[in-house]
């Protein structure tokens, strides 16, 4: 449950990013996503907009960086 994960992370001071599809997550973080999508069957499966790419969600939580005083 992502709500529980967000709450748990906030207890540590982590900042959650908006929940996104697995496909969008891969698109943002994988260099050459579009090029590789045409060549890699495993990536096509993971990013399939009618399958795993939208069925699964990704949550990124970050530790905020504090400015130097």
Per-position pLDDT tens, the chain of length 69: 799 999 999 999 999 999 999 999 999 999 999 999 999 999 999 999 999 999 999 999 999 888 887
The stretches of the chain forming alpha helices (DSSP H) are: 2-11, 22-29, 33-37, 41-47, 52-55
Question: How distant, in Å, are the alpha carbons of 34, 42, 44 from that of 39?
Answer: 9, 9, 8
pTM of the model: 0.80
Distance CA 9, CA 58 (A): 14
Q: What is the pLDDT of residue 69?
A: 73
Pairing of strands 57-58, 20-21: antiparallel
């Amino acid at each position: 449950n992502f709500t529980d994960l967000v709450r748990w992370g906030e207890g540590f001071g982590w900042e959650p990013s908006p929940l996104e599809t697995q496909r969008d997550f891969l698109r943002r973080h994988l260099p050459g996503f579009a090029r590789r999508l045409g060549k890699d069957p495993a990536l096509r499966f993971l990013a399939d907009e009618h399958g795993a790419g939208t069925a699964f969600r990704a949550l990124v939580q970050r530790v905020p960086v504090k400015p130097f005083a």
